[in-house]
Structure 1
Amino acid sequence: MKRCYPWIICVVAMIMLSISNGMTMTGITAFDSSLLEEFGWSRGALKFRDMFNLLLAALLSPFIGALIDRVGVRALVLFGSVLLAILYVAYSQISSIAHVYWIHVGFAAVVVSSGLSVAVIMVSQWFNTQRGTALGIALVGSSLGGMLIPKLITALLPAHGWRESFIWMALLPVALFVLSLVLVRTPQRMGLQPWGHDHPRTAKQQAASQWPDLSYRQALCTPTFWALAVVAITTFWAIMSLSSHLILHMRDLQFSAERAADGMFLLFGLGMVGKFLFGFLADICSPKRVFVCNVALMALGSLILASQRAELLWTGLVVMGLGWGGLYAVLQLQIVDAFGLGSAGKILGTISLMDATSAGLGIWLSAVMFDHFGNYGVAFAVMAAMVCTGLLASLFVRDERRLAWEAGGREGRAPAATS
């Protein structure tokens, strides 16, 4: 049991992300048609909730590193799961758009306390080696949420209606609370060593162990930080806009509710495959090459979807899903590898501030574009342009820890690790 505990933590992180992401951002879109029919809101008004949610989460994200250091990941996950259950019960009682916006204020707290940054730190604490594979497994959770939550909601709606379905869905975060209470621990708390602490190191790993962690201030002064930020900003705009509007887009194309849920299942199912596949490849080949390949796949997929041809929709979803899944995992790995774990919480939080802001704006503005033009043609063209910009930025990513070490060597000294 103790020997396998790091991998158990990966599974817990995966379940956490599937519930928190799926129920606050991607899967919840399965309720959109019911809400629009019930209240008659415009898509721009409804999707403003997602921008509201993500912008608030973005504002909170830079503080998550300090919060993790103060209270630990376990307390944050427990808080987020209880809050999510309460908010879903509250969603079942809404009667105005203002109620929706207030609930999504709470969703922002859920995204921060039980989301990406917490999952990355939780898993990274348990792994010295095979971190790419471990993060790939954990981050599969965001895809599982996008795959399964819409299917579950679609199955509940005919028999229970949207109000009662919200109450049934609240049972999922309750289960997450129990699971986290029992299993989430740090290696130090259990008296264990991270995975790979006793594995013989390769020459590359031995060299990397001497490279200093960059401080938050140092990271901000590197081109790699800003290149990664641009990639995150552009790709999050695209994938969040696509996933948030996909069910409505497919319904506009006369697909049934079940087929629209299948579209989400395919997009996030291939994302799940991409996370594991490319996380594994990043451990055995150049992480940067894998990273650039992922952004290139997303660019190709977004261009196919921008053609607005119904017969190419499924192909575009396959390519986009694979590219996004891999990028989602390898982007986090690139951040940790480039700058180290010393200030990883702050760095991840700052990039999360940028990408969540972009994602929120993308979701809302795509809805506004639909309301103005009557279709998603312009919105999808903007998505494609954003990802192509991210592809160019991905070429400027460097290994900043190695470069800092080499610079110190040229000055006749070994740089000290910084926090």
Structure 2
Amino acid sequence: MAVETRSSFGILNPRRVFYGWWIVLSGFLLMLFSTGVGFYGFSAFVNPIADSIAGGSRAIVATAVSIQRAESGILGPIMGFLVDRIGPRKILVAGFIIGGIGFILVSLTQNVVQFYAAYMLLALGLGAGSFLIISTAVTNWFSRMRGRALGFMFLGPGFAGFLVYGIVVLIEMFGWRYTLAGIGVAMWVICIPLALITRRAPEAYGQRPDGDPPTEESSGTPVQLTGGGVPIVEASLIGIGNVLRSPGYYQYVLALGMQQMGFSALVIFQIPALQTFGLSPGEAGLAVLIWTIGGLPGRLASGFLADKFDKRFVLAAAFIMQLIGLFFFLTTTNLNGAILYGITHGIGWGMTTPSRLALQGELWGRAIFGRLMGIQTGTSAFGSILSPIFVGWWFDTHDEYKTPILLLFLPLFLCIVLILTLRRPQFG
């Protein structure tokens, strides 16, 4: 009988592929589409929607995004609880059905009230089909290779820039309404079948995380990472109450919440802002494409680095790269400067999500991963609610974007300190 060998990616050769990697592939494609059309891509709609139904006010359009952030803040803990209880598949399917309806309804709006109502429904769908659910699905299937799995999955948003550039072209060709309606239909056709691939956890199917056979190391006892990592806490060794009484968790949540303030505003206004810096709509869309592609090496590298080195250092390095990218963004006057911004900030942002999720999984385990991530997402939403409105209001009154974006990114220096001083959890 041939002996099966295991590659460094946890794939059994030659007989079968560990099912967790199919979930990673599904997550990659879902993140590519949902991020491209529902997160990065919205920046392309800000100006045309504002000019069509909001009297040119960017603040009015940004308020819709803030409503989405508020809705996500409320739903985050609920979604985290549900995904830990019933698994990701049903939530994702429901989310993409609702999201498709939301996109179509937004395309039909004729005034601000209708726009807000339709966008709230869209936000509900995007929340149920969000990276919180997808990341939890992937995290539950991996332990030793969690960073790599998340890194591969989050390559999806790195390719989302192609969708953003395509959205810019479609808006110029067909208008923003037909483009939004087409996105809604595409969400049903593409995302629902992909969501059906996801599964809850390997133990329910007689498997172990990473495709490992049942051993003492994978039976729920803590194991020590190599490369200076903190101890992995798996299964049900700790309860959510213990984590919520731990100061370190709130230090982690605070750091990510402050980081999200600047990023949430930047991702909405980067295309309108780049146009005020002297770029054409096409050049601004190209800059966003480069920004997302720039995140690809960051996402992939951070996954491998997070599995080998202290995840706190990897996450702090990601924040530093974002600050370097911000400098190029605020000083750009042409496409060359925008390209430098896209590469540097893209790498920094690309490094952030895989490393922070791997850090959370390492510190507090995977059994309550969804609930903790939901709490963190909900708490971080408060800063994300106000920052887009602030930037939109500032532009409406001062006709420039640089000052508010700079102010929102200054707390990132404190975020670096908070992550580097994050202590290892002590339970038991």
Whether TM-score is above 0.5 comes out as yes
**Structure 1 position 178, deviation (Å):** 1.9
Contact 1:124–1:131 (Cα < 8 Å) also in 2: yes
Partner of 1:204: 224
Cα deviation per residue 1:337-392 (whole Å; 9 max; x = unaligned)? 11112322221111101222222321221111112221012112213312112122
1:196 Cα deviation after fit: 4.1
**In 1: Cα distance, 2:21 partner to 2:285 partner:** 30
How far apart are the structure 2 equivalents of 1:277 and 1:305? 23
Q: How does 1:91-110 map to 2 (within 5 A)?
A: 91-110=106-125
Q: Corresponding residue for 1:151?
A: 165
1:132 aligns with 2:147: yes
Cα separation, 2, equivalents of 1:16 and 1:242 = 23
Cα–Cα, structure 1 residues 228 and 209, in superposed 2: closer, same or farther, change >3 Å? closer
TM-aligned CA deviation for residue 76 of structure 1: 0.6
State the Cα distance separating 1:58 from its structure 2 match.
Answer: 0.8
Could you tell me which residue of structure 2 aligns to residue 229 of structure 1?
253
Asked if the contact 2:391/2:401 (under 8 Å) is kept, the reply is yes
- Once the two structures are superposed, the pairs formed by residues 166-315 of structure 1 within 5 Å of their partners are 166-174=180-188, 175-181=190-196, 183-186=197-200, 187-188=202-203, 190-198=205-213, 204-205=224-225, 208=231, 213-307=237-331, 310=334, 312-315=337-340
C-alpha offsets along residues 175-196 of structure 1, whole Å, 9 cap, x if unaligned? 1112223x22233454433324
Alpha carbons of structure 1 residues 56 and 210: separation in structure 2 relative to 1, 3 Å:
closer
| Uncovered stretches (5+) of structure 1, i.e. residues with no partner | 405-414
Distance in 2 (CA, whole Å) between partners of 1:127 and 1:166 is 36
TM-score (norm 2): 0.87
Give 1:36's aligned amino acid. A
| Number of the residue aligned with 1:335 | 360
Distance 2:331 2:258 in 1: 19
Distance 1:136 1:213, change over 3 A: farther
RMSD: 2.4
The DSSP-based 3-state class of the residue aligned with 1:204 is coil
**Which residue matches 1:23?**
37
**Residue 349 of structure 1 is aligned with which of 374, 382, 385?**
374
| Counterpart check, 1:381 vs 2:406 | yes
The question of whether the paired residues in 1 share the 8 Å contact of 2:278 and 2:333 is answered with no
Residue 100 (structure 1) shift? 1.6
Query: How far 1:309 moved relative to its partner?
Result: 5.4
TM-superposed deviation, 1:171: 3.0
Q: How many residues align?
A: 401
SS at match of 1:25: helix
Within-5 A mapping of 1:2-41? 2-39=16-53, 40-41=55-56
- Mapped to 2, the partners of 1:306 and 1:190 lie a distance apart of 51
- Which amino acid is 1:204 matched to? Q
| Matches for 1:111-130 after TM superposition, within 5 Å | 111-130=126-145
Aligned AA (1:290): V
1:47 to 36, 42, 62: 62
Q: Aligned AA for 2:177?
A: R
State the 1:20 CA deviation. Answer: 2.5
- For the 8 Å contact 2:99–2:122, the answer to whether it is kept is yes
SS state of the match for residue 22, structure 2?
helix
Give the counterpart letter for 2:124 in structure 1.
A
Instruction: Report sequence identity in percent.
Output: 18
Alignment partners' CA distance in 1, 2:326 and 2:413: 9
CA distance in 2: counterparts of 1:266 and 1:103, whole angstroms: 31
Q: How does 1:76-95 map to 2 (within 5 A)?
A: 76-95=91-110
User: Cα distance 1:153–1:312, how it changes in 2: closer, same or farther (>3 A)?
Assistant: closer
Contact kept? 1:28, 1:149, Cα under 8 Å: no
For 1:127 and 1:397, the matched residues in 2 are separated by 24
Contact 2:231 2:363 in 1 (8 A): no
Q: Could you say what secondary structure the match of 1:267 adopts?
A: helix
Distance 1:285 1:257 in 2: 41
Judged with a 3 Å threshold, the aligned counterparts in structure 2 of structure 1 residues 294 and 38 are, in CA distance, closer, same or farther, namely same
Aligned partners of 1:28, 1:210: CA distance in 2, in Å?
38
More helix by share: 1
Go from structure 1 to structure 2 and tell me whether the alpha carbon gap of 1:193 and 1:92 turns closer, same or farther (over 3 Å shift): same
TM-score (norm 1): 0.88
Give the equivalent residue in structure 1 for 2:387: 362
Contact 2:100 2:122 in 1 (8 A): no
Distance of 2:232 and 2:37 partners within structure 1:
39
Q: Would the alpha carbon gap of residues 328 and 210 (structure 1) be closer, same or farther in structure 2, given more than 3 Å must change? A: closer
